[in-house]
Amino acid sequence: MNVPQAIIDEATNVAASLLPEKSSERYEHEYAEFKKWQNENNVTGITEDVLLAYISNLSKKYSPNSLWSKWSMVKSCLQVRENIDGRRFHKVIAFLKRRNERYLPKKAKTLTKEHVQKFILEAPDDKWLLAKVITIFGIFGCCRCDELLSLTLNDVEDLEKYIVVTLRETNN
């Protein structure tokens, strides 16, 4: 089949945009790690056994939740870059499910209301003022993590009786 180079280039550009916009770097990183592993192990093709060996290798280092995430990213990149449908690799899915059996994730430690109050009231301002402000904004500011990260001093206005905070990039 004779396809003009302009058509191939456009298809390549469109395919590159099929990965999630915010996390495409992570997807590309996982795909690059897979390709690096392939190269280090002198593997040229991509078969279910190759992917099973790769995921098995990762399972020595990562939790089942992380394995699912890494598999999902590699699978998406294989679909976009190499037109390989990862859904047909049933052994890989079975392996991931088996690794998940009896797995108990570690619970994240959370702060109680009392912990937060004690920190805000008792921690010395000269050392912890920034952390206190971030804590207050995070809890009472009704803003998302990315909104909190994008705040600048120009977004905060002190009116003595109250403070006005302007969220410039928000979904609300």
Write down the pLDDT at residue 41: 94
Backbone angles phi, psi at 165, to 5 degrees: -115, 125
Predicted structure pTM score: 0.59
| Cα–Cα distance, 149 to 168 (Å, whole number) | 11
Write down the pLDDT at residue 100: 80
Three-class DSSP category at 157: strand
Report domain extents, the chain.
Answer: 5-101, 113-165
Question: Residue 73's CB: how many other CB atoms inside 10 A?
Answer: 22
pLDDT along the chain (172 residues), means of 10: 83 78 88 94 92 93 90 91 87 89 76 88 90 81 78 84 80 66
Beta-carbon contacts of 147 under 8 Å, excluding residues fewer than 6 positions away, are 167, 169, 170
Token pair of 167 as six digits: 């969220």
Write down the pLDDT at residue 134: 79
